[in-house]
Amino acid sequence: MAKLIKELSVFLPAYNEAENLEKTVANVISNLKRVADKYELIIVNDGSKDTTQKVAEKLAAKDKNIRIISHPVNRGYGAAFKSGLYNAKYDWISFIDADGQFNFEEIDQFIDTEQRTSADLIIGYYRERRVTWLRKLNSFAWQTVVDVLFGLKVRDIDCGFKLISKTVVDKIPKLESERGAFISSEFLIKAKKHNFKIEQIPVHHYPRKAGEATGAKLNVIIKSFVDLFKLWKKLS
Ligand code: UDP
Ligand code: MG
């Protein structure tokens, strides 16, 4: 029987995810085998200080479809995102966080939505986001600023589960954001400017079981706003 999609690259940004990586990789690979004729999985080790690299090497040694990109030092989610995105080789590219907060089984709904709507980007939004209320308030404020400055109104800009056509990536060869979370907004703002079609679908979100969340750290928030105003100045 034909599989759901011909080819699919997946990348996992990973910073200090030694305790979560193996499970996430198993989850992604078992579903990739099921849905894609050809696939690759890229683990982006963003300068982890724990044994993420070792775990990644062990997994890659067992499966030729798994590749590792290592940053010598930690550069932030934006940089990890770019390394994954620009090194993915197949026509369709997806990503989830390495921390186990998503279930890659839900890729089926992304592929189905793409095939029904011919969207170029299918982006997830949280059915129920498993984080604190303060974090939710943060995101609300952040999204309001992005909406006011750039006219980008989506349900969850930063949701870490998306499916993207390589044609979109090829049209956006230079993303600037490194440290903070602005990369997701920057990517969507630029995709929208090129008139690519965006669809949104709900995904489940699970609590982090191990390791440490970085998204609410002060330096990450500050850097996100710095990147945001840089792009705003450039475009205005
Ligand atoms: N991450 C990364 N580099 C960083 C910080 C985070 O590659 O400097 C990865 C992290 O390992 C995870 C994903 O990006 O897979 C999302 O990060 P995190 O879970 O800390 O964000 P949150 O859930 O708090 O938004
Ligand atoms: Mg997380």
pLDDT by residue for the chain (236 residues), tens only, comes to 789 999 999 999 999 999 999 999 999 999 999 999 999 999 999 999 999 999 999 999 999 999 999 999 999 999 999 999 999 999 999 999 999 999 999 999 999 999 999 999 999 999 988 888 988 998 999 999 999 999 999 999 999 999 999 999 999 999 999 988 999 999 999 999 999 999 999 999 999 999 999 988 999 999 999 999 999 999 88
Q: Which atom of ligand 1 is nearest to the CA of 99?
A: 15
- Interatomic CA distance for residues 50 and 147, integer angstroms: 37
φ/ψ region of 156 (left if φ > 0, alpha if ψ in -120 to 50, else beta) reads beta
* Strand partners for 40: 9
Query: Among 41, 85, 99, 129, which is best to mutate for testing ligand 1, by the most ligand atoms less than 8 A from CB?
Result: 99
Q: Residue 73, exposed/middle/buried by CB under 10 A (0-12, 13-18, 19+)?
A: exposed
159 Cα–ligand 1 center, Å: 11
Reading the block at residue 54, the tokens are 């070792």
126 Cα–ligand 2 center, Å: 12
Determine the distance from the C-alpha atom of residue 75 to the mean position of all C-alpha atoms in its chain, rounded to a whole number: 15
156 C-beta closer than 6 A to ligand 1: no
pTM > 0.75: yes or no: yes
Encoded amino acid at 129, one letter: R
User: What 3-state class would DSSP assign to 129?
Assistant: coil
Query: Among 11, 15, 19, 104, which is best to mutate for testing ligand 1, by the most ligand atoms less than 8 A from CB?
Result: 15
| Residue 161: C-alpha distances to residues 11, 63, 82, 145, 224 (Å) | 10, 23, 15, 22, 19
User: What 3-state class would DSSP assign to 153?
Assistant: coil
